[in-house]
Amino acid sequence: MIERDLTVSNRLGLHARATAKLVQLLSGYRSSATLIAKGREVNAKSIMGVMLLAAGQGTQIRLRVEGEDEARVADAVAALFERSFDEDQ
């Protein structure tokens, strides 16, 4: 299991488009992924779950990944967060 702390840096936070990008990215991997923020723990492969976090800009999120490709998943998700979901360019 791998855990990483991430910060939502894009201006609009984890809104529908950013959440869809995250879920689409994760759908290509076998590992399970969980996001933890604001006292909630959700399946990161679920659009509704991620949207329930209501994570705005600056929100601290912990990513937990477990499975055969967990290192690649953690790196890919961290890169997506670091790129601000390719929105703030």
Which residues participate in catalysis according to the annotation? 15
Measuring CA to CA, how many Å separate 39 from each of 22, 27, 28, 53, 67?
20, 25, 27, 9, 24
Two structure tokens written together for 70? 């967990």
Kindly report the number of other CB atoms within 10 A of residue 19's CB atom.
21
